[in-house]
Structure 1
Amino acid sequence: MDDIDSFTEDEHAMRQFMPSSFGKQDASVDVEAQIQRCRRATVDERKQAITSKKQSDDEEDDDDDDSSEGEDEDEFPVSHELLIKTHDKAITSMTLDPSGTRLVTGSTDSTIKLHDLSAMTPTTIRAFKTVDPHAAKSSAVNSETHPVHQVLFSPHSGSQLLVITAFPQARILSRDGELVKEFKKGDMYLRDMHNTKGHISEITSGAWHPTNWDLFVTAGTDSTLRIWNVNNSMEQKEVIVHKSRSAGSAGRTRMTAVAWGSPIQGGNNILVGAALDGSLVMWNGDGPYHRPAAEIRDAHVKDAWTSGLDISADGRLVITRGGDDTIKLWDTRKFKTPITTVTHASTSSQYPTSNIRFSPNSSNVITGSETGHLHILNPATLRPELVTPVTPGSPLITVNWHPKLNQIFTGSANGQTTILFNPKISHNGALTILSKAPKKRHLDDDPNFTTSLDPLGMAGDATAPGGMPGAQANTFSSRHPTIGLTASGKSRDPRRPHLPATTPFAKNTPDQNYVKESIPHSSMRDEDPVEALKKYATKDKLFTKAWEENQPKPIYKDYDSEDEEARHADKKVKR
Structure 2
Amino acid sequence: MDRADIDEEALRQCVPSGFGKQDNGVNVEAQIERCRRKIVDESKQADAKDADSDKDSDDDDSDDEEDEEDEDEFPVSHELLIKTHERAVTTITLDPSGTRLVTGSTDCTLKLHDLSALTPTTIRAFKTVDPFAAKPSAAAEAHTIHQVLFSPHSGGQFLVITATPQARLFSRDGEVIKEYVKGDMYLRDKLNTKGHTAEVTSAAWHPSNRDRFATAGLDSTVRIWDVNKSLKQEQVMVHKSRAAGSAGMTRMTAIAWGAAGEGNGSVIVSAALDGSLVMWGGEGPFHRPLGEIRDAHAKDTWTSGLDISADGRLVITRGGDDTIKLWDTRKFKAPVNTTSHPSTSSQYPTSNIKFTPNSASVITGSETGHLHILNPATLRPELVTPVTPGSPLITVNWHPKLNQIFTGSANGQTTVLFNPKHSTAGALTILSKAPKKRHLDDDPNFTTDMDPLGMSGEAIEPGGKSGPTPGSFASRHPTVGLTASGKSRDPRRPHIPQTTPFAKSTPDEKYVMNNIELSSMRDEDPREALLKYAPKEGEKNVFTGAWDKTQPKTLYKDYESDEEPKAKKAKR
**TM value normalised by structure 1:** 0.75
Choose the corresponding residue for 2:443, options 429, 433, 447. 447
Matched, 1:500 2:493: yes
The alpha-carbon deviation at position 69 of structure 1 amounts to 1.8
Equivalences for 1:19-418 in 2 at 5 Å?
21-48=18-45, 58-137=56-135, 139=136, 141-263=138-260, 268-418=265-415
Tell me how far apart the structure 1 counterparts of residues 158 and 179 of structure 2 sit (CA, whole Å): 12
Deviations for 1:160-180, whole angstroms, at most 9, x for unmatched residues?
A: 110000000110011111011
> Secondary structure at 2:139's aligned position in 1?
coil
> Secondary structure at 1:68's aligned position in 2?
helix
* Alpha carbons 1:199, 1:220 under 8 Å: kept: yes
Matched letter for residue 193 of structure 2:
T
142-151 or 235-244, which moves further after superposition?
142-151
Q: Which has the larger radius of gyration?
A: 1
Q: Larger RCO: Structure 1 or Structure 2 (Cα < 8 Å, ≥ 6 residues apart)? A: 1
Tell me how far apart the structure 1 counterparts of residues 170 and 495 of structure 2 sit (CA, whole Å): 24
* Alpha carbons 2:444, 2:486 under 8 Å: kept: no
* Alpha carbons 1:124, 1:449 under 8 Å: kept: no
The alpha-carbon deviation at position 105 of structure 1 amounts to 0.6
* Alpha carbons 1:282, 1:292 under 8 Å: kept: yes
Distance 1:445 1:503, change over 3 A: closer
The alpha-carbon deviation at position 394 of structure 1 amounts to 0.7
* Alpha carbons 2:325, 2:335 under 8 Å: kept: yes
* Alpha carbons 2:98, 2:402 under 8 Å: kept: yes
The alpha-carbon deviation at position 20 of structure 1 amounts to 6.2
The alpha-carbon deviation at position 143 of structure 1 amounts to 4.6
Distance 1:502 1:149, change over 3 A: closer
The alpha-carbon deviation at position 23 of structure 1 amounts to 3.4
Tell me how far apart the structure 2 counterparts of residues 423 and 266 of structure 1 sit (CA, whole Å): 38
The alpha-carbon deviation at position 44 of structure 1 amounts to 1.7
Tell me how far apart the structure 1 counterparts of residues 495 and 324 of structure 2 sit (CA, whole Å): 55
> Secondary structure at 1:83's aligned position in 2?
strand
Report % sequence identity: 72
Match of 2:427 in 1: 430
Distance 1:130 1:411, change over 3 A: same
Tell me how far apart the structure 2 counterparts of residues 302 and 410 of structure 1 sit (CA, whole Å): 29
Matched letter for residue 64 of structure 1:
S
The alpha-carbon deviation at position 45 of structure 1 amounts to 2.6
Tell me how far apart the structure 1 counterparts of residues 133 and 53 of structure 2 sit (CA, whole Å): 61
The alpha-carbon deviation at position 275 of structure 1 amounts to 0.3
The alpha-carbon deviation at position 493 of structure 1 amounts to 3.5
Tell me how far apart the structure 2 counterparts of residues 264 and 299 of structure 1 sit (CA, whole Å): 20
The alpha-carbon deviation at position 232 of structure 1 amounts to 0.7
> Secondary structure at 1:252's aligned position in 2?
coil
Tell me how far apart the structure 1 counterparts of residues 24 and 485 of structure 2 sit (CA, whole Å): 32
Matched letter for residue 493 of structure 1:
K
Tell me how far apart the structure 2 counterparts of residues 144 and 62 of structure 1 sit (CA, whole Å): 58
> Secondary structure at 2:254's aligned position in 1?
strand
* Alpha carbons 2:181, 2:232 under 8 Å: kept: yes
Tell me how far apart the structure 1 counterparts of residues 264 and 64 of structure 2 sit (CA, whole Å): 41
189-198 or 52-61, which moves further after superposition?
52-61
Deviations for 1:208-259, whole angstroms, at most 9, x for unmatched residues?
A: 1111110110000000001110111000000000000010000000000010
* Alpha carbons 1:128, 1:483 under 8 Å: kept: no
Deviations for 1:408-466, whole angstroms, at most 9, x for unmatched residues?
A: 00001111100000111111100110000001224x4432499xxxxxxxxxxxxxxxx
* Alpha carbons 2:307, 2:316 under 8 Å: kept: yes
Structure 2, gaps ≥5 residues long: 1-11, 447-475, 498-572
Tell me how far apart the structure 2 counterparts of residues 20 and 169 of structure 1 sit (CA, whole Å): 59
Match of 2:481 in 1: 485
Distance 1:493 1:46, change over 3 A: same
Matched letter for residue 112 of structure 1:
L
> Secondary structure at 1:142's aligned position in 2?
helix
**TM value normalised by structure 2:** 0.75
Tell me how far apart the structure 1 counterparts of residues 175 and 323 of structure 2 sit (CA, whole Å): 39
* Alpha carbons 1:100, 1:429 under 8 Å: kept: yes
Equivalences for 1:535-550 in 2 at 5 Å?
none
* Alpha carbons 1:221, 1:255 under 8 Å: kept: yes
Structure 1, gaps ≥5 residues long: 1-14, 451-479, 505-575
Deviations for 1:275-321, whole angstroms, at most 9, x for unmatched residues?
A: 00000000111001000000000000000000000000000000000
> Secondary structure at 2:297's aligned position in 1?
coil
Deviations for 1:249-277, whole angstroms, at most 9, x for unmatched residues?
A: 00000000010012599675111010000
The alpha-carbon deviation at position 485 of structure 1 amounts to 1.7
Deviations for 1:361-409, whole angstroms, at most 9, x for unmatched residues?
A: 0000000001010000000000000000011111111000000000000
The alpha-carbon deviation at position 66 of structure 1 amounts to 2.1
What is the root-mean-square deviation of aligned Cα atoms in Å? 2.8
Tell me how far apart the structure 1 counterparts of residues 295 and 330 of structure 2 sit (CA, whole Å): 18
The alpha-carbon deviation at position 21 of structure 1 amounts to 3.7
Tell me how far apart the structure 2 counterparts of residues 503 and 43 of structure 1 sit (CA, whole Å): 51
* Alpha carbons 2:219, 2:252 under 8 Å: kept: yes
Tell me how far apart the structure 1 counterparts of residues 414 and 266 of structure 2 sit (CA, whole Å): 32
Match of 1:555 in 2: none
Matched letter for residue 32 of structure 1:
E
Distance 1:503 1:374, change over 3 A: closer
37-46 or 101-110, which moves further after superposition?
37-46
The alpha-carbon deviation at position 65 of structure 1 amounts to 3.0
Match of 2:562 in 1: none
Tell me how far apart the structure 2 counterparts of residues 58 and 326 of structure 1 sit (CA, whole Å): 38
347-356 or 45-54, which moves further after superposition?
45-54
Tell me how far apart the structure 1 counterparts of residues 158 and 334 of structure 2 sit (CA, whole Å): 35
* Alpha carbons 1:347, 1:369 under 8 Å: kept: yes
What is the number of equivalent residue pairs in this alignment? 457
Distance 1:326 1:268, change over 3 A: farther
Deviations for 1:330-350, whole angstroms, at most 9, x for unmatched residues?
A: 000000000000000000011
Match of 1:464 in 2: none
